[in-house]
């Protein structure tokens, strides 16, 4: 048999456990009310039953599991693993996750960009910035007008710039290469004028500078018309250099646009508003 206290294996007829001292049986004829004899004699107290360590081990195991589990959960929280797994984590006073707020803000920004793209609406420049833009394109226009050509101020035939020093002497040249070069030069200058005109047109100046912008656009249009007339005449001269083939294209379009430009130009000087 086994001791019911300490579990030690004993003889079946044992009265006391020789491991812990527990009395297992009451001997026949013994006084059950008498004090239990002490093993080894004397006044030494009987050894009590050994305590089992099973409960302590179970308790420590549970505490260990809770501590490890808490540490793992904290790590997942701060690394965003819960969010990646689709868990809902309230991180703001409003109960909305910061991730959800960012996604919502991104959607609103995208919607605003789409609306701007659809309408072409942009914020107008300040008055100071608008004045700077007007001055910039006024100076560009002035430079291009000089390059294209300016007639003599005394009314005599001729002038300065491309129209008078290069175009007029070469358009009727017997050399085909010269006339082809003239076409390329006309196209280059026209592209420059048209590019500047487009840049001014797309500038979002304030309302105070819209009238000055409109005046400059009109002048660019006249310069563009003049260059188109010279380009058309130069192309016609490539096929036939005789004046009868290119003169009708050049005049009066070139002369008229030049005179209109020179009459309007003085009033286009930028004025700060």
Q: Is residue 172 part of a domain?
A: yes
Residues 235 and 245 in one domain: yes
Q: How far is CA 88 from CA 8, 23, 69, 85, 172, in A?
A: 57, 63, 19, 9, 82
Residues 2 and 22 in one domain: yes
Cα torsion 216, 221, 224, 230: sign: negative
Whole-angstrom distance, CA of residue 245 vs CA of residue 238: 10
Contact (Cβ atoms closer than 8 angstroms) between residue 257 and residue 219: no
Name the one residue in this structure whose structure tokens are 């300016």. 150
List the chain residues with pLDDT less than 50.
Answer: 32, 34-52, 81-97, 112, 115-121
Contact (Cβ atoms closer than 8 angstroms) between residue 22 and residue 49: yes
Name the one residue in this structure whose structure tokens are 């004025």. 271
33 lies in which domain range?
A: 1-50
Q: Is residue 102 part of a domain?
A: no
Residues 29 and 141 in one domain: no
Residues 56 and 134 in one domain: no
Q: Considering just the CA atoms, what is the radius of gyration of the chain in Å? A: 53
Contact (Cβ atoms closer than 8 angstroms) between residue 124 and residue 266: no
Task: Single out the residue of 217, 257, 226, 227 nearest to residue 137, CA to CA.
Answer: 217
pTM of the model: 0.56
65-103 burial, b at 16+ Cβ within 10 Å, e below that, comes to: eeeeeeeeeeeeeeeeeebeeeeeeeeeeeeebeeeeee
Q: Residue 229 is inside which H or E element, if any?
A: helix 210-239
Residues 82 and 197 in one domain: no
Whole-angstrom distance, CA of residue 19 vs CA of residue 6: 7
Q: How far is CA 258 from CA 32, 45, 159, in A?
A: 142, 132, 12
Residues 159 and 229 in one domain: yes
**Which domain-ending residue is among 88, 117, 148?**
88
Residues 152 and 84 in one domain: no
Residues 142 and 262 in one domain: yes
Residues 262 and 149 in one domain: yes
- Residue 34, classified by CB atoms within 10 Å of its CB into exposed (0-12), middle (13-18) or buried (19+), is exposed
Give the per-residue pLDDT at 123.
Answer: 83
Q: Is residue 103 part of a domain?
A: no
Q: Is residue 107 part of a domain?
A: no
Residues 38 and 72 in one domain: no
Contacts of 272 (CB under 8 A, 6+ apart): 131
Q: Is residue 69 part of a domain?
A: yes
Residues 193 and 253 in one domain: yes
Give the per-residue pLDDT at 95.
Answer: 44
Q: Is residue 120 part of a domain?
A: no
Total number of domains in the chain: 3
Q: Is residue 264 part of a domain?
A: yes
Q: Is residue 106 part of a domain?
A: no
Whole-angstrom distance, CA of residue 2 vs CA of residue 12: 8
Give the per-residue pLDDT at 57.
Answer: 57
Residues 13 and 64 in one domain: no
């Amino acid at each position: 048999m086994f001791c019911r206290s300490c579990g030690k294996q004993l003889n079946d007829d044992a009265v006391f456990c020789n491991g812990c001292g527990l009395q297992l049986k009451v001997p026949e004829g013994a006084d059950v009310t008498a004090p239990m004899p002490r093993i080894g004699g004397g006044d030494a107290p009987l050894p009590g039953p050994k305590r089992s360590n099973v409960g302590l081990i179970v308790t420590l195991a549970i505490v260990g599991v809770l501590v490890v589990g808490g540490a793992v959960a904290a790590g997942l929280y701060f690394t965003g693993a819960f969010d990646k797994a689709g868990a809902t984590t309230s991180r703001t006073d409003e109960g909305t996750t910061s991730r959800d707020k960012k996604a919502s803000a991104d959607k609103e920004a995208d919607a605003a960009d789409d609306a701007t793209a659809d309408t072409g609406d942009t914020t107008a420049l300040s008055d100071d910035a608008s004045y700077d833009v007007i001055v910039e394109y006024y100076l560009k226009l002035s430079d291009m007008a000089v390059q294209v050509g300016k007639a003599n101020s005394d009314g005599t035939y001729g002038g300065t710039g491309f129209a008078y020093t290069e175009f007029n002497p070469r358009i009727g040249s017997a050399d085909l290469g010269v006339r082809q070069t003239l076409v390329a030069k006309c196209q280059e200058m026209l592209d420059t004028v048209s590019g500047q005109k487009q840049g001014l047109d797309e500038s979002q100046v304030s309302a105070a500078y819209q009238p000055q912008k409109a005046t400059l656009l009109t002048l660019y249009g006249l310069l563009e018309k003049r260059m188109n007339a010279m380009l058309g005449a130069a192309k016609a001269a490539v096929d036939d250099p005789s004046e009868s083939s290119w003169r009708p294209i050049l005049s009066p379009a070139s002369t008229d646009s030049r005179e209109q430009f020179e009459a309007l130009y003085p009033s286009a000087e930028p004025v700060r508003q």
